[in-house]
Structure 1
Amino acid sequence: MTLRYTLIAASLLLAQQAQATTLPEAAALARMTTPESGSQTFDALEQHILQAERQALQNGAPTLTRSALEKAKQSQLQADSAWLRASGYDFQVKANQQAGIELLSSFSALPEATLNANRATVAQINLNATQGARQQALADAEGISYLYFTADALGPRLGKAFLAAYDKGELSKAAVLIKATEISTSAAKKHFNYARPFLATGNSIHLVPDDVVVKDGKPYTADGGSFPSGHTNTGVTDALLLAEMIPERFQALVARGARYGYSRIVLGVHYPLDVMGSRMVAERNVAHYLNDPAYRRLFSEARDQLRSALEKECGVALATCAQTVKGEDNYQDAAMQRFYRFTMTYNLPRLSTQPRAVSVPPGAEVLLESALPQLSAAQRRALMAKTALPAGYPLSGATPEQQFWQRLDLSAAFAQAKHQG
């Protein structure tokens, strides 16, 4: 099927989903979180983040080179690796990688119509992306080893405080723990062995030249398999853990994780299914670790250091520093709830419209614990079930765990609790 006819087929499928956010609407919402946002305050914060990221990547060298970029990682000042090593904590990487593969196993049985829609959607998002969206995607991609990208979901005041504290090494325990919790998707990529969009036969993907980070004009590409997305796993893990540490910005940070995944599609190096699968795995992994008492002790120590450092930088209580006014805080905009919901499915066709109750895995409610402390565990579980995505979308699979992690809408759950409260 040619790209033209595939896009037509995808458009017909989208038209059948009358209440879904369309691709153009989603692109407009995503644009709110780029240097083209229209908010001078937000755009200034984005520029500040980019400058901090480039300076870290440059690492004192006269200029930023691509070879330096490929070796970049958090400095010893930024991340207290000695503290984490001394804890002796075992992340059980292989076991959790295998759990991720099992969670995503339904990918191998998807029908060709779903894969065609998957291909059509990445082409449409990639080819129609604005310059600002591409620049944001490049900044997201090249800063994968750092936490800079999360700052724009904290609001202008707290975001600047975060950048200052991060580079001073005042968040060093949180920085090392968050990055260590990113369980690599390499095993899953090898298992599923699915080619990236820009490598598919007959593709029309536009590879984006780097004019914002290294600024050498080299088209951005990526190695390894496509499914699932390693960058999205990083973005969702980092943003979600930070949301657990700063629940005053929970919904904005959850949206930031989804937005990070969207950037991968903008660059044409990942499909929607890659991004959707990594969200599932990252959320499952964060819940798994937060339910482990040994990890929770490390998390609490890191969280306390982070919150204390941010209050020191802000000069006021963290809750006050996290407050913003309309027009300067695009990630807190109510429209981002629609964007988040869109990224759960990218409007790919449902495989089944049969209703199916959500079974919440034991302990999953921990993801809403810090954001909604006034609710009991049972109430948080009920909220997750009530606000879940309808059944039948790709990757929801056949098992209760696959169903739950595909359908879990943290943004909707939080919003409904706040509305009722």
Structure 2
Amino acid sequence: MKIRLTLLTAALLLTHQAMAKDIPLGQARDIANTTTPASDSQTYVALEAQSLAGLRQALQGNAASLTRDQLEHTAQSAKQADSAWLKARGYDFQTKVNQQVDIALLSSFSALPKPVLDANLHTVEAINRDATQGLRHQALADAEGISYLYFIADALGPKLGNAFLAAYDKGELGKAAALIKASEVSTGAAKKHFDYKRPFLIQNNSIHLVPDDVVVKDNKAYTADGGSFPSGHTNTGYTDSLLIAEMIPERFDALLTRGARYGYSRVVLGVHYPLDVIGSRMVAERNVAHYLNDAKYRVLFNEARDQLRAALEKECGTSLAQCAQSAGKDDPYRDPAMRNFYRFTMTYDLPQQKGAEKKLKVPEGADVLLEAALPNLSANQRSALMVKTALPAGYPLSGNNDEQGFWQRLNLSAAYEMAHKSR
């Protein structure tokens, strides 16, 4: 064990500097585009099409056709999500308490200097302007699928992804579907608190609102109301992806990136800034860690996880480990380039304040986020990974206290990668 730890530490020290720089906006765009219907993999494109078809059918329900009005009243069906089971268990999610904790965690937003906010706007304008048609189509599907879990499938690889879609619509994942959606801590209170205008409402902005030719297909420009900071959709994407990653650690890295990719879609559409996405990553990770450290929540989580894994193995006809294996070019979320994309979404190349490197302090219990993916490491070892692979200090929202600094700098993708490289 000592030898292994020494090798792990050495690997982390050698690679830490390599992780410290963002890739350019254009490179991030090109990587993200491989996870859209513009992919070179016909297998992946077919999985995307199946996911979209499932979403459109769920939105339409028993109606003769899908109309925009139906989007305002969407939710998982009773067959998809076992809400009765969850309600009967009587768990208190303490939503209002967690909302206030999230507001405090993001409080440094109010003190950001004008150059950072200007860069925030310029970045969303550039990403929105230069987005490919594939990125726009994927962003529309992500946007309208917020109430469902269809978006998860493409990060599971072709075999497990198809199994997930089948099991989801058959109602075989009901406990997980209900628990995951109930675990999303609404960003509504934070939006009202920070009261920041969306980018397309800023005077003289260059945002191009994207017409819907994918979901409702009425070519009406996609828009959004309410405050911009933090992003509710991104909070959903990160929370859902991270909880599924905790249930299916065989796809941990890919699912982490799916959460980041979901947030990127909001910037593509021009309805959120990078900081909205970064802030939601922070609170989603904090909230999931909080719940996983609650013994009563863990009982529900374990029950939901076991049902989900059994259902997926049944649909796959093999072990989950076999079904989750990488599928080469047909599995873009497992492409090494996606690690660079994930790192990019942690900062969106926004200005870094130079100064002394602050020591990162891991909050008690935060290592739980790596427990399922790295079960052979102790809590102390997982915490050490988090520290050594963290984002450099000084990026926006890192704030001036330990909690803010940790959740802004936490790079779960890098921690997972480095642990596996050291094996």
TM-score (structure 2 length as normaliser): 0.95
Is 2:179 the partner of 1:173? no
1:385 Cα deviation after fit: 0.4
Letter in 2 for 1:163: L
Question: What pairs up with 1:375-386 in 2 under 5 angstroms?
Answer: 375-386=377-388
Partner SS state of residue 346, structure 2: helix
> Which ranges in structure 2 are unaligned for 5 or more consecutive residues?
1-18
Aligned-partner Cα distance in 2 for 1:305–1:295: 16
Partner of 2:256: 254
Give 1:19 deviation, angstroms.
3.7
Displacement of 1:239 after TM fit?
Answer: 0.2
Spell out, residue by residue over 1:222-275, the C-alpha distance to the aligned partner (whole angstroms, 9 max, x if none). Answer: 010000000000000000000000000000000000000000000000000000
Q: Deviation above 3 Å: which 4+ runs of structure 1?
A: none
AA at the equivalent of 1:275: V
Instruction: Report the residue type matching 2:59 in the other structure.
Output: L
Please tell me the residue identity of whatever aligns with 1:339.
F
1:110 and 1:275 map into 2 onto residues whose CA distance is 16
Is residue 2:374 matched to residue 1:397?
Answer: no
Match for residue 61 of structure 2 among 36, 59, 62: 59
1:210 equivalent in structure 2: 212
CA displacement, residues 21-65 of structure 1 (integer Å, 9 cap, x when unaligned)? 000000011101111121111111111111111111110211101
Report the RMSD for the aligned CA atoms in angstroms.
Answer: 1.0
After superposition, the C-alpha distances for 1:345-398 in whole angstroms (9 at most, x for unaligned) are 000001233211110000000000000001011000000000000000000000
Q: Deviations over 1:279-330 (max 9, x none)?
A: 0000000000000000000000000000000000000000000013211100
1:408 aligns with 2:393: no
Q: 2:200 aligns with which of 198, 205, 227?
A: 198
Residue 134 (structure 2) aligned to one of 124, 132, 135:
132
1:339 paired with 2:341, answer: yes
Aligned to 2:95: 93
Give 1:114's match in structure 2, choosing from 116, 123, 127.
116
Moved more, 60-69 or 256-265: 60-69
Size of the aligned set, in residue pairs, is 405
Asked if residue 273 in structure 1 is aligned to residue 275 in structure 2, the reply is yes
Separation in 1, partners of 2:372, 2:322: 17
- Structure 2 match to 1:352: 354
Separation in structure 1 between the aligned mates of residue 85 and residue 342 of structure 2, nearest angstrom: 35
| Cα distance in 1, alignment partners of residues 195 and 104 from structure 2 | 15
Structure 2 partner of 1:146: 148
Gaps of 5+ in 1: 1-16
Q: Could you say what secondary structure the match of 2:63 adopts?
A: coil
Matched ranges for 1:177-326 at <5 A: 177-326=179-328
Helix, strand or coil at the partner of 1:349: coil
Per-residue Cα deviation, 1:327-352 (whole angstroms, up to 9, x for no partner):
11000111111000000000000123
The 1:186/1:18 distance shift into structure 2, 3 A limit, reads: closer
Percent identical residues: 70
- Cα distance in 1 between the residues matched to 2:96 and 2:196: 21
Report deviation, 1:18.
9.5
